[in-house]
Every structure is written in structure tokens, then in C-alpha cells.
Chain A
Amino acid sequence: MPSGHTTADRNLTASMPPSTAVVATLARLYPFLRPALPRLVAGMLCALGASLCALSIPQVLEWAVNGPLLGSAAGGDRAGVWSAVLLVLGLGVLEAGMVAARRAFILFPGTRVEASMRMALFRHLQDLPLAFHDQWPGGQLLSRSMADLGQLRRWMSFGLIMLVVNTTTIGVGVGLMVHMGGILGVAYLCGALPVVYFSYRFSQRFRRISRLSQDQAGDLATTVEESVHGIRVLKAFGRGREAYQSFSAQADELRSTELSKARTLGGFTFAITTISEAVLGGCLLLGVWLVVDGQLSVGALLAFFATAAVVNGPVEQLGHLVSMTLYAKTAVDRYFEVLDTENELRDPARPIRPEKVVGDLVFDDVHFQYPDEPTPDQAWRDPARPSEAPRTEVLDGIDLHVRPGETMALVGLTGCGKTTMISLVPRLFDVTSGSVRVDGVDVREMSRHDLREIVSIAFEDATLFSATVRENVLLGAPEGQRSEADLDRAVTVAQADFVRDLPHGLDTTIGEEGLSLSGGQRQRLALARAVAARPKILVLDDPLSALDVSTEEAVTAQLRQELAETTTLVVAHRPSTVALADRVAVLQEGRITAVDTHSDLLAQNAHYRFVISSLSPEAETGAEPKAVV
């Protein structure tokens, strides 16, 4: 079962991304955080205020008991009791109010920052070229968009504030202890120093593990996605069990990582709890000795331990909060890893639009090789790693001129780079060298939006979105120019009239969430979509492969009429598709070796006959004639 591939399943310690400081990571958040900052600070202040109220209630209780009840004359001070009760009540209401205010303040920062970061990621992902998407598994992107940002929200709404409040409480508490206890306080402070060391070690280790667990969770999501997208294959071969075993193994790995995370956290919690408490035990002895020695009053000793009890809770929570912070930090790192991926296929600073769009398409000495970019896991594993793969160029100097209004077929063997070549026209990839020009303008000089309005493309494996037929067909039509007539025409040209018989006609929802269509039906809709976009240049990738002979004939006839004014580059595997074209270009070993009419090529070019003909002598031998090239 092949789906066991993971990006993080190697080993734990060997290779991790260069770890950045928590502060540096959080600084990256600043732009997103800035609008929310006032509320965040207000939330923290409220949290501190609430703790203050909580701390003072016991003091008031003690005062009430010692003061009005015991302190005054017999019979007690009823008015004093009432004021104490009111004070306690007031403080209690205030505390609850502060908690409510903290919650209210924090409502927006967490969710707003999450939403704006999620949108920024989505926008960036839509902007990044296909080369990026080819290499990043979907689950990894999804886990960054959902799990990681959710983590960040929870941390901002809870972890961050509690961390600040707890650190303040501990700081103030320890300060008070030093102030009240003198030597005792200093001893406590010194004794607690190892906690700092353990915190450091813990954070190093925990960061590594949490990164691993988040990566593994992303891989697991990828496997789930694949197991559903490939469900037909799995069912056809009855490989559900193997898929399950492979998924289980992966889920089990994630479990082990989570367990080692818990062990690390447990160890840390043990260390800080026992250290701080053992030191207190020592302080007890020291304190009693100091009292006996007359250097400390009993009251101060009691106050010291009372304060220690207040500090205790926050110290115990520290492990949890630090781990939450580290987890959020890793999430942010993972997020920025994607957001920082530079788009190498950008719009130019000053885009040019051809003065007159007539649809003149030129490939000028075009070279292309797939960027052997290190894959996402390698990127942080070893950036210096040279690619082992030989850098063979897919396209090795393409020269081709498709005149305005002309229909050019592109013929070549499977895998020779036809799809790659046509993908360069709407700039789904960029040339390595040379240029592709539309009406004299290099496609890299134009904005992608303008370019893709001029150039429309239909792929062989048609992607339909979960939307109505109408929306799917009009997907590429210029906004504001989507007429019912265009839709009708496109549907007719593509022989996609079957859509009119769907349960809700053109308003039937199709795609993953709707009605499933056959391959031929999908292909015809993709064709209709390309036609409806009313492009000046139409690029078709074997657009009729899934159609039967009679449908193909009808589509061809319609298309020929439709394409009279449109410059068309069509990848063809069959003579029937070639029939659409005025001229044919033969792509062979990365170059255009011949451009001519179908009949001339058939007569003169052995490679062409080999590729396209079923009846010629080349077809009979079944082997590529070597001599012609």
C-alpha cells in the first residue's frame, strides 16, 4: 500500500528545522496581532485585576474575623460585620466582572487574528504556482490552515493571558516572599533556580516533539485525503485492508509521538513541582530555626508560607502553559513556513497589456525544466542538498508561431512535454529560459489575471467544482459578461446538452458535493467552460479523449466553426482531433521538429506517422523508426 509515505516519519532528532526563538516567532505575529493589541492588553489587565480581587478576598475574611468579630468590645461590631460582608460581596462581584470583561476583551483578538491569518494563507496558496502545489501534500496545507491556527487562537485566548498573569503572580509572590522572609526568601529563590534550567531543557525537547507531532498529524490528514480520493482504486483492487494497515501504522506513530510528548511534559511537571516544594520543605526548617533564633517573627513565617501557597498554583500550571506556548510557537512556525514561500511566479511590477489583442502566440527558444526544488521536508532538513536527479530539460528550445485565428495541433509521444508546453501559455509554469509571447508581449510582463483572460485552457482531466453546471461552465467568463446566450452556445459547441436533462437542468449542482458525471461528460463541460470564457487564445489538452466517435465528430464540427476567430493550440493524440487544426506541430525530444499540414506530415514525417497513424507501416512495426530524427 503506497500511501505510507510521510514527510516526518524519519527520526526524531536527526533533522529538524532551524529552531528559532519563541520571541522571534511571536514577533512575526505582530502584523496580525497589532489591530488586536489594545484589546489583548485590556484583557490581561482584567485578568490581573481578577487575580488581585481573588487574592484580597481571603485578606478581608481574615480582617473581618480578627477585626469586627474579635477585636472590638463584647457583643461585636455589627456595622463592621456588615461592611466586611459588603466588601467581600463587592470584591466577589468585581472579580466575576473582571473575569467577564477579560473574556469579552479576548473574544475578538483570538478569533480575528485566526481568521485574518487563515485568509492570508488561503490567498497566498492561491497565488503560489502549481510547482508548489505539486510538492506540498494537501493534508499538510490543511493542517496548517485549521489545526495550527486553531492552536494559535486557543493560545491567544487563554494561554497567553494566563502565562502573563501567572508569571506576574509568581514574580510578585516571590518578591513578597523575599521582602517578608529576608534570608528565607533568598534561600527559596536560590533553591528554585534549577527550575530555570529544567525549563530550558524541557522547552528544547518539547519543541522538537511537538513539531514532529504536528507534521505527523498533517501527513495523517494527507493519507486520509488520498484514501478517499483514491477510493475507487482501493475498492477495485480490494485494498481497503492494506490502506487501513498503513493508516493505522501512521496513526500509531503519531500516538507514540504524543506519548513521548506527554512523558516529557510529565517529567518537567515532576521536576518543577518537586523542586519548588522540596525547597519549601527546606525553607520550613530554616524558617523555624530563624524564628527560634529570633531573626524572624512567627507572623512573618506564616505570611511567607501563605504567599508560597498562592505562588504554588501558578508554578504547577507553568508546565502546561509553557507547553501550550511552545505548541503555539510550532504552529506559527509551520504556518509561516508556507506563508514565507516566495512566489517565483509573480506579476510584474508594471504589467503590460498588449495594445491590441489579436491572439498571436509565439514560443521563442523556450527551455523548461521542472524546478527540482527540495521537497518541503528536505527544505528544512538539508537546504544544501544538491539534487541527485539529472537535470534533464523537458523542453529544449521550442520555437513555434501560432498566428492569430489559426488552429495548431501539437502532436508527440506520451510524456514528451506537450502538457508542459501548453501550461506555459497561461503561465501555470514559467519558462526556464526563452520566452512565450502573446501579441508581442512576454507573458511574464503581463499580469496573470489579464493573461488568463486572454488565454483559456481545458485540461484532459476536467476539474469540476461543487457548484451548479451554470457556475462551472461560466467559471472563466469575464465578470459582467456572463450571458445565457454564451452559456447556451458553449454547451452546444461542447455537445454537453445532456446537462439540460439533469434534475435541475443547468442549476443542478455537480462536482464532489453534487451529482457525479462520467469522464466524457466532465470533459465536455471542461470544453464548454473553455469556450464560454471567450478567449482570444484557446489551449486544449487532448479535449476529446473521452468522447466516442460520433460525439467527437459533432464537437469537432462545432468547434471548427467556433474557433474560426480564435487562436487555438490543441494537444492531439488522434487524427480526429488533428482534424481541427490548420497546421500541426510535432514535438519530439523537447523541440518542435516539424510544422506542416496534417496531410504533408503524414506523407513525409515518419515520426508523425508513428505517433498518429494506425494504418501506416510505422504502426505495424510498433517500434519508433530511429532514422528520421
Chain B
Amino acid sequence: MPPAAPIPQGVADEENSYLDRTRSREVRRRSRRLLGSLLAPVRKMFALTVVLVVLAQAAKVAGPALIAWAVDRGLPAAMDGDWGPVLGFAIAYVVCAMVAGGGTAGYIRFAANVSQAILLDLRQRVFRQTQRLSLEFHESYTSGRIISRQTADLEALRELLDNGITSLASGLLFMTFTGISLVLLDWRAGLVLLVAVVPVWLVTRWFQKRSQVLYRISRVASARLIVNFVETMTGMRAVQAFRREQANDVVYGELTEDYRRNNVRTMGLNGIYDPALQLIGNVTVAVALAIGSFRVLDGGMEVGTLLATLLYTKRFFQPVQQMGMFYNSFQSASAALEKISGLLEEVPTVRAAEQPVTLPKASGHLRFEHVRFGYGEETVLPNLDLDIPSGQIIALVGQTGAGKSTVAKLVARFYDVNDGRITLDGVDLREVAPRDLRRAVVMVTQEAYLFSGTVRDNIALARPDAPDADIEAAARAVGAHDFITALPDGYDTDVNKRGGRVSAGQRQLISFARAFLADPAVLILDEATSSLDIPGERLVQRGLQTLLADRTALIIAHRLSTVAIADRVLVMSQGEVVEDGSPEELISGTGSFAALHKAWQDSLV
């Protein structure tokens, strides 16, 4: 890599599954770090789980030994009429069984506690992170990908946690026990095992290299599938209206096939790895048999010892398959954690200040000082200076692309300026404590998104602790009360279930009511009335007059009816304010606003 190339970070190379070695190692390390940090808070519970696993395994191993003793020692005693030993062994056996059962039940529960605590933690981290990330990020990452991180990727981790860790612990334990027993029994037989570890290691390395890439591809393929699914379902109205069903089938079919083919490849890889481990184990047993037998024949070994070494060798390899399964789910979870850790690594472009300035009661005085801003390469605002005294109502007017919405988004701090600064009551927006900023500045956008829940919930979003009376008052103020009470359950109507019935205009009224309830010092309306009909707009207009008394307001509306209530009109063009004055001044002038206003007047009847 040339030194000048930027080092990809976060989600930048998420779609790339063939990473070079350094990057691959970095990404893996990142994913392991995440796993470590998730395990840290639950390490005690985790340790307890392992203890229970050990206990249960020990009890399980003890079972056959007790039976052997019962037959070897108890039976002769019983023959002689002494039932004590047999009874003792039987009781011990039952006790062991209960310990094994209890231990197993216990570790299932504790392992679930560990795994659920980790999953909850990770879910919360991802959710918090997606809420924290700036709009800039969301505008390209898509909801489908976030959902895929939160569902399919977490599912992969869950597989590992639910089954993997216990099988790793019990497997390792079992192998250690049998390994040690074998070495103690006959160190030369132990050497055979040691030699067998070499091919196991080689096969595992081979598997690791291949599966790493395949699982990465798998994560990408599954995310694409989800992204496409979510997009299709969200846009179902357009899909059906424009007969896209068959074309979508083709696209989704290809993605499904990609995903399937990749699953076949990963499963196929496992289909080699798993029997390969089995083969190594079985061959080792055969080798041990051959070597041992000739040693017996040459008198170098007792037959009993041979039998024992063979059984131990066989048992040593029993959990190897389990370990293979563990390694497999570990690889899959690692790939998922790579993606999740990338998302978590993303740094919001709009950040909270390290030492935030509290602004509990903002008056709403806004200032733009030499503000330069652009999306990516393209500059939208070259150098904007603007002073908006508190309480002033501004109408922002201009062509599409003039930068009106950008001004609005900068004030709401959806983005940060590239250069210069915007102040609220003299404090740089970037320094204001986020909570205070959100209380002081509220923006109503054109897309009036309703969350599932009731109409009341949706209005109360602006102030979750608002009493019903306030919510109703807000709805009345914007003229939404009448249609809300006409809904089947009034304010308690579930908007999701009646989604088809809340019209675009009604949604805008609800989001207006939100703004009313929020009671901010600065209110930004970005095309917030576009879907209202004329009576609705009249009502809102009237509501606005009350609402905007002693409030700073930035109103972007192509319907110039809003201008009537503005104190000041700013006409923007190519990121600059080209006309600035009271509505009366501008209308009576000869500028572009006068022409615009005349055209609008003419359109009215």
C-alpha cells in the first residue's frame, strides 16, 4: 500500500472480504478486542460457568469408573454376602449422576446468563452508536445494514456463545484429563498423541485461512439480502404500482442464491475440516494400536496398559470434533464481530464537546460567522454571515439547491460547519451541551415520520413527560385535534395499525404538534407545511402566530403564505444571501423575491 493511501477505518471496507494480510489482522484484532470487552463485565459469571462445566464433566467421567469398581470389587464382596461396597458404589453413582445433571443444568443457565448479558450489552452499544452517529453516516449506510448488524450478525455471535464456549471448555478439559492420564500411564503412548497434534494444527490453519474469507463474504451477502428485503418492503406501494414484482424477484433471487452458495461453501469447508479431524483421530488410534501391539509382543508393555492407552487415545479425539464445531462458530462470530466493531469504531462527525457549555434558557440569538460548508467535495455555503436576533421570524426563500435546507440543518446541528462558526446566544453550537441544544433548537422536516405507537405517543415524543392536557393543547393549536378525535380510538389510536389511514397532511400536523409541545427557543420549519391543504395551512398559520411569539424561527417554505408572518425574508442563491429585508420592502422592490411573490399571488384564487 502506498503510504499516502488513507487507512480504512470503521465501515469503510465493510464490503470487502478479501483484505490484505495487515488489514485482515487489524480487523480481526478489532473484533477480538470487542469480544474481550464484552466478556470482561461477565468474567465472574463466565468463570462460574466453567467451574460448573468442570464439575459436570468430572462427574460424568467418574460414572464409568464407579461401575468398573462395582464389578471388580463390589461383586466379589457381594458374592461373599457383603453388600456394603456395591451399595456404596451405587449410591456414589447416583450422586455423581445428580452432580452431572445439576452441573449441566446449572451451566446451561449460567451460560445463558453470560451469553444474554453479552448480547444485551452489544445490542445496546450498537443502538447507542447508531443514534449517536451523524446523519452524514446514515445517509449512506442504510437502515438495512444496521438491521443486519443488529439481527443476523448478533445471531452469529449468539451461536458461538450458546454452544461454543461450553463445548470449548468441556472439550479442552476432557482432552487435558485424558492427555495427562495417558502420559502418566505410558509416556511413549503420549508421544504418539503429540505427533498427531501436528496434522490437527495444520488442518486447522488451513481451515482458518479459508473460512475467514468465506465467513466475511457470508456476512456481506446476508447484509445485502436484508438491505434489499427492507427496501422492498418499505417501498411496497411503489413496487406494486409500478409492477416491479418480477424484476425484484430476479434481484432478490440472485442475492438469495449468492447467500445460499456461500453457505454451501462454508458448510462444504466444514465438511472437509470435520471429517479430516476425525480421520486424524482414527489413524492415530490405529497407529497406537500397531506400535503398542508390537511392544506387547516384544514384551515391552502390559496388555492392560495397551488397552487403556488405546481407550484414552480414542477418547482424546472424541471432543476434537466438538472443538472443530467451536472453531467454526468462532470464525463465523468473528466475521460478524468484525462488521459490528467497524460500525462501533465509526466516529460521529458531529460530536459532543468535551467541556460543554450549559445553556438552560437560550434566548435564541443566532449568528453565522464566515460559515463555509459542503457535502463532500461540493461546497454549498461558501461564506455565510448572518445575524438573527432572538425572537425574529425569518423566511428563507430560494431555488432548490440554494442552500436553504443546509442552513436549517446546520442550525439544528445535523452537520457541523467546515469553517467559521454558528453561535447560539454567543456560544458556538459545537460547545453547547447536546441536551440544551436539543431543547433550544427544534426542527420540523418535510418527512413527518411516525413511530409505531399511539398518536399521543407520537406527539409526546417532543416532551415525554408532558401531561395529556398539554398534548391536546398542542394538537389544538395546530388544528390537529379534530381529526385526531375522529380517529377510532382518538389519541390512543395506534398509528401503525391505521397507517394507511393517516394522510400525509395529517402526519405533518402531528409532527407540527410535536414542535408545538417541544416549546423551543429556535424553531426551524423545513418545508413542514407542504402536504397541508389550504384550510390546514390556514390553521397552522394561525397557530404559528401564537407559537412564534418571542421565538426565533427559520421557516423554509415555497408557499409564500408563510412569509406573511415573517419579520424578515432572506433570499438565497448559490449559498449566499442575495436579498435581505422585511417582506414589505422586498415585495415593493424589484428583486427576485418581488417576482416570486407576484407569481405566487397570481396563483391564488
Contacts and interface: CB of A to CB of B under 8 A. Distances in A.
Contact of B530 (A119, A449, A545): A545
A345 to B, nearest CB: 10
B534 interface: yes
B187 interface: no
A278 interface: yes
Contact of B127 (A244, A265, A547): A244
B12 to A, nearest CB: 15
Nearest to A277: B97
17 contacts: A1-B461, A2-B453, A82-B290, A88-B289, A114-B263, A142-B226, A146-B229, A150-B152, A220-B123, A233-B514, A261-B112, A262-B113, A277-B98, A426-B241, A533-B242, A542-B531, A622-B542
A126 B249 contact: yes
A269 B101 CA distance: 7
Contacts of A134: 497-500
A385 interface: no
Contacts of B275: 96-97, 99-100, 103
Contacts of A565: none
B462 interface: yes
Which of B71, B127, B314, B414 has the largest number of chain A CB atoms within 10 A? B127
Task: Enumerate the 6 nearest inter-chain pairs by beta-carbon distance, A residue then B residue, closest first.
Answer: A238-B438, A92-B282, A2-B453, A277-B97, A262-B112, A2-B457
B505 A221 contact: no
Contacts of B473: none
Contacts of B276: 96
Contacts of B434: 238
Interface in B46-77: 63-64, 67, 70-71, 74-75
B274 A76 contact: no
A457 B314 contact: no
B293 A84 contact: yes
Interface in A131-182: 131, 133-135, 137-139, 141-143, 145-147, 150, 153, 157
Nearest to B222: A146
Interface in A97-144: 97, 99-100, 103-104, 106-108, 110-112, 114-115, 118-119, 122-123, 125-127, 129-131, 133-135, 137-139, 141-143
A568 to B, nearest CB: 15
A406 to B, nearest CB: 21
A316 B56 CA distance: 12
A57 B109 contact: no
B549 interface: no
B533 A413 contact: yes
Nearest to A285: B90
A27 interface: no
Given A5-B496, A58-B311, A145-B229, 16 more contacts: A57-B285, A69-B293, A125-B236, A230-B449, A232-B135, A234-B131, A237-B461, A274-B102, A309-B63, A414-B533, A429-B500, A463-B237, A547-B558, A573-B534, A598-B605, A619-B538
B139 interface: yes
B335 to A, nearest CB: 15
A533 B90 CA distance: 83
Interface in A286-318: 288-289, 291-292, 298, 301-302, 305, 309, 312, 316
A346 B538 CA distance: 42
A236 B511 CA distance: 11
B359 interface: no
B400 A551 contact: yes
A231 interface: yes
Contact of B150 (A224, A226, A258, A269): A224
Interface string B291-302: 001101100000
Q: Is the interface of B mostly helix, strand, loop or mixed?
A: helix
Contacts of B439: 238
A2 B451 contact: yes
Which of B78, B446, B532 has the largest number of chain A CB atoms within 10 A? B446
A626 interface: no
Contact of A92 (B119, B243, B279, B531): B279
Which of A62, A258, A548, A614 has the largest number of chain B CB atoms within 10 A? A548
Interface stretch (A357-365, A432-440, A518-526): A518-526
Which of B96, B144, B400 has the largest number of chain A CB atoms within 10 A? B400
A574 interface: yes
Interface in B185-232: 222, 225-227, 229-232
Given A231-B135, A247-B127, A370-B498, A284 B112 contact: no
A91 B286 CA distance: 10
A125 to B, nearest CB: 7
A95 interface: yes
Nearest to B150: A224
B534 A574 contact: yes
Nearest to A501: B401
Contact of A76 (B119, B150, B297, B314): B297
B120 interface: yes
B490 to A, nearest CB: 11
B285 A115 contact: no
Contact of A231 (B116, B131, B438): B131
